[in-house]
Structure 1
Amino acid sequence: MTAHNLILNVDSYKASHFLQYPPGTQYISSYIECRGGDFSEAVFFGLQAFVKEYLLQPIHAGDIDEAETIFKSHGLPFHRAGWEHILHHHGGLLPLEISAIPEGTPVPLHNVMLQVVNTDPACFWLTSYIETALVRAIWYPVTVATQSREIKKVIAGYLDATAGSRTGLEFMLHDFGARGASSLESAMLGGMAHLVNFHGTDTVSALVAARRFYGADMPAFSIPAAEHSTMTAWGRDREEDAYANMLRRFAGPGHTLAVVSDSYDLWHAIENIWGGSLRQQVIDSGGTLVVRPDSGDPVAIVSESLERLMRIFGARRNAHGYRILPDFIRLIQGDGVSRSSIPEILQALKERRISAENITFGMGGELLQKVDRDTLSFAMKASAICIDGHWHDVWKDPVTGPEKKSKRGRLALVADPAAGMRTVRLESLGSSSQGLSSHAMGHNLLRPVYRNGQLLLDTSFDEVRAQARI
């Protein structure tokens, strides 16, 4: 029995579907798309992690026994013969072919990103059976990677306007979301998806995932940083000592440290400690102190904090006429940070003629947790069926929900000068109507990634990042 039984990685009703298809069914082709949502395009990411974790290990007889016991007790039929066929004829590996757009690629909504078809006619039911696991494996990292990239665009725009340079952009949105994720696997996948766009994280499991699934060496970095417990452990009367200890332990030439400074009175900390008794130590450290407010209205707090720091430590004007703090001090906002608050904060700073160079953002639950399958309206649908050697279109077109109309036929994705990409029928690219492969001749952007238990393409994390670059 395996640690995760793939047969049970499914919705209950799937167990009865092998009995529901027309007689003579041999092959079923299904696809995944984003049918709408908050963004105009979606960054495809996460398939390789799913394949490596779940599809390269065979099922075993114990898995079949366990699944039969559970499904029959659960009130459902169980296709023991089908799973034993996979065990004995395919060594327990799934006879499927999955084709997809290269990972990291932004795909305009309403287009196919992934297509899956069974490769053994005895396993026609398997294409739909994998839907639960496959959609869940894809929608979450795609959605996090997409949101992260959209935020990157926003920050880049404000850097262009207020600094004229995107230097440091990859470190301006830091992942604080590990503790707010619903599970360790969610933190791994979501944290890794964020790193498609940025190089800063405190989600260590994201590093593990990027190394394990995409061959990354060290995809992201962090710095020594204080939390409230390490500051308040000194007591209110010794707040200055707590901050001085941070400088003593971590400051120095080329070093950066972050200190949460609102445990008691943020304004007192800025004015009388950082800007008072420890001011010269901050200036002379040779490194960079990052002050972290952690409460209050983020737009007002960030603006006021930067104004006070500039009054105390001075500021110069960059080539675009916006103010910037000396290199030895910066600010990070990690409270109340979201896709909507980041542009509000940056716009407020712009109106005060303060450069976006002064700030970094830390984003937690809003980054990794406050998304769902409907953020981009993910769906996997059957679009073609082969019965007795002939392919037929399959589609849904509900009168009561026209937005859920699905695509017909075996599909391909092609470059389009006007739309960027366009979904077309596979046959239009000249592939054989009898072929099983979802990889068409010509210029189909969908490439076979998995076939019959084998990973056909092993994409590096650097390659993913290159595809997603803005």
Structure 2
Amino acid sequence: MTRLSDHNLILDTDSYKSSHFLQYPAGTTRLFSYLESRGGRYPVTRFFGLQYIVGEYLTRRVTREDVEEARAVIEAHGEPFPYEGWMRVVNVHGGRIPLEIRAVPEGTAVPIHNILMSCTNTDPELPWLVGWFETMLMRVWYPTTVCTQSFHIRAIIARALEQTSDRAAEELPFKLHDFGSRGVSSRESAGLGGLAHLVNFMGSDTLEALRIGRNHYGAEMAGFSIPAAEHSTITSWGKEHEVDAYRNMVRTFGKPGGIYAVVSDSYDLKHAINVHWGETLRPEVEASGATLVVRPDSGDPPAMVRLAVNALAAKYGTTVNSKGYQVLNHVRVIQGDGIDEQTIGQILQNLLVDGFSAENVAFGMGGALLQKVDRDTQRFAYKTSAGLIDGQYRGIYKDPVTDPGKRSKDGVLDLVMEGPRMVTRAYYTFDTDFPGSLMRPVFRDGELLVRDSLEEVRARA
């Protein structure tokens, strides 16, 4: 059995797409499709990840060998195959994909129900390519949804910091830490989802995000981490030597100006805080000049954080800031278990009620950040909205009686500002240069036209 290529661009589609070249009306020479969020959990999406998808995949050149391989696989699979069309890509276009993609700049926050990206063919003999690559292009839903969720959580934390902290701008970038790498479906998901989070924050334990950030977004260092203990490193000392495990952390990482995290609930969180951290090791922690971050990792997250903050305040004391809220001396808390948007809100509310600044606590978010999202979280759709058939413009849309919310747009679409609002504008012709557009061409005929840096992406909101 011959091994299939891992890099054959033609095979990166849905099986049924291969029959579509026979289904469009005779005389079809142009198609236009668009991507939008039709609603979902958040009212605004923060667009991200297309640069990676296009640069990593769509810029590859198709070869004759790719066409022959795809033909053999797809025909044996039970589908017809547009052999002459794909050979035209090879022979006429040098293997470059004859499409044009326009999109909003990455990092832009766009209200739902608006166009985010469009795709049209540049070769009138190959209009079906617009639909062939729906499968690949639609995957931008994932980094966009992760980036969107992270963006909205950032706003929740920012409000709490503005209300309770004198150091909101310094604290905010490190308040939501990515713990999600082990909880995703693939290495690529970890990297792309992890980088999507780093559009909004600077803290991450997902090394894959650094690789994609450097290779595809020009980020020398996309995010940062700190030394941290896990249960295996603490419990390897044995229960009777738990305090020695903690002492080792203080002496190894407790350098002036440093910060380190220690999971402290391997046995008894209350005892660990009140006795080990609060009495036995407190002089060393205070003298070290570093910040100890205590991590609860079990129990009800809001209750455990409340317990930890109050217990640490009783042992280490607090300083009241200019806004009247208490800031722990020498220590902080990070909660990394059971964290999602809801528990973050509950924890921050508890801090406010108890009179503590939000800067006392950071959050580590794993599966809920990178994995507990899907295409329907923001109801992403890629639909064809216009065609050129026998030289005449035709609007293309669906309007199902059974679900009016799935009515698709028609027209050659663009995103513009009308007063203070972003709106989708429709042209009923392909002959437009998109005046006042908020979108831009990012890909044409096999070439990535825009390479934004992560810094530029972060600056847009």
TM-score by length of 2: 0.97
Residues 30-45 of structure 1: pairs in structure 2 closer than 5 A: 30-45=33-48
Residues 90-169 of structure 1: pairs in structure 2 closer than 5 A: 90-136=93-139, 138-166=140-168, 167-169=170-172
Q: 2:259 aligns with which of 246, 256, 261?
A: 256
Q: Is the Cα–Cα contact under 8 Å of residues 97 and 445 in structure 2 kept in the other structure?
A: yes
Q: Separation in 2 of the partners of 1:156 and 1:434?
A: 44
Q: 1:378 aligns with which of 377, 380, 388?
A: 380
Residues 292-307 of structure 1: pairs in structure 2 closer than 5 A: 292-307=295-310
1:343 corresponds in structure 2 to: 345
Q: 1:412-443 CA distances to partner (integer Å, 9 max, x unpaired)?
A: 1101224x20001236xxxxx454xxx73420
Q: Is the Cα–Cα contact under 8 Å of residues 2 and 60 in structure 1 kept in the other structure?
A: no
1:288 corresponds in structure 2 to: 291
1:357 corresponds in structure 2 to: 359
Q: Separation in 1 of the partners of 2:149 and 2:427?
A: 30
Q: Separation in 1 of the partners of 2:146 and 2:65?
A: 36
Q: Separation in 1 of the partners of 2:444 and 2:417?
A: 25
1:173 corresponds in structure 2 to: 176
Q: Separation in 1 of the partners of 2:189 and 2:410?
A: 33
| Aligned-partner SS, 2:255 | coil
Q: Separation in 1 of the partners of 2:430 and 2:224?
A: 50
Q: Separation in 1 of the partners of 2:173 and 2:138?
A: 29
Q: Is the Cα–Cα contact under 8 Å of residues 414 and 434 in structure 2 kept in the other structure?
A: no
Q: 2:231 aligns with which of 201, 214, 228?
A: 228
Q: Separation in 2 of the partners of 1:165 and 1:264?
A: 34
1:270 corresponds in structure 2 to: 273
| Aligned-partner SS, 2:220 | coil
| Aligned-partner SS, 1:161 | helix
2:435 corresponds in structure 1 to: 442
Q: Separation in 2 of the partners of 1:4 and 1:33?
A: 28
Give the % identical residues: 53
Displacement of 1:347 after TM fit? 0.4
Q: Is the Cα–Cα contact under 8 Å of residues 412 and 440 in structure 1 kept in the other structure?
A: no
Q: Is the Cα–Cα contact under 8 Å of residues 9 and 60 in structure 2 kept in the other structure?
A: no
- Residue 221 (structure 2) pairs with residue 218 (structure 1): yes
Q: 1:247-304 CA distances to partner (integer Å, 9 max, x unpaired)?
A: 1111111111101011111111101111111110000001111110100001111001
TM-score by length of 1: 0.96
Q: Separation in 2 of the partners of 1:350 and 1:441?
A: 49
Displacement of 1:164 after TM fit? 4.9
Q: Which runs of 5+ in 1 are unaligned?
A: 428-432
Q: 2:456 aligns with which of 429, 451, 463?
A: 463
2:408 partner letter: S
2:74 corresponds in structure 1 to: 71
| Aligned-partner SS, 2:436 | coil
Q: Separation in 2 of the partners of 1:11 and 1:191?
A: 26
Displacement of 1:165 after TM fit? 4.3
Q: Separation in 2 of the partners of 1:415 and 1:158?
A: 31
1:306 partner letter: V
| Aligned-partner SS, 1:442 | coil
Residues 286-435 of structure 1: pairs in structure 2 closer than 5 A: 286-326=289-329, 328-418=330-420, 420-426=421-427, 433=429, 435=431
Q: Separation in 1 of the partners of 2:129 and 2:441?
A: 18
Q: Separation in 2 of the partners of 1:426 and 1:256?
A: 56
Q: Separation in 2 of the partners of 1:207 and 1:434?
A: 40
Q: Separation in 1 of the partners of 2:259 and 2:166?
A: 24
1:458 partner letter: R
- Residue 17 (structure 2) pairs with residue 24 (structure 1): no
Displacement of 1:67 after TM fit? 1.1
Q: Is the Cα–Cα contact under 8 Å of residues 426 and 440 in structure 1 kept in the other structure?
A: no
1:47 corresponds in structure 2 to: 50
| Aligned-partner SS, 1:385 | strand
Displacement of 1:112 after TM fit? 0.4
1:279 partner letter: R
Aligned Cα root-mean-square deviation (Å) = 1.1
1:391 partner letter: Y
1:430 corresponds in structure 2 to: none
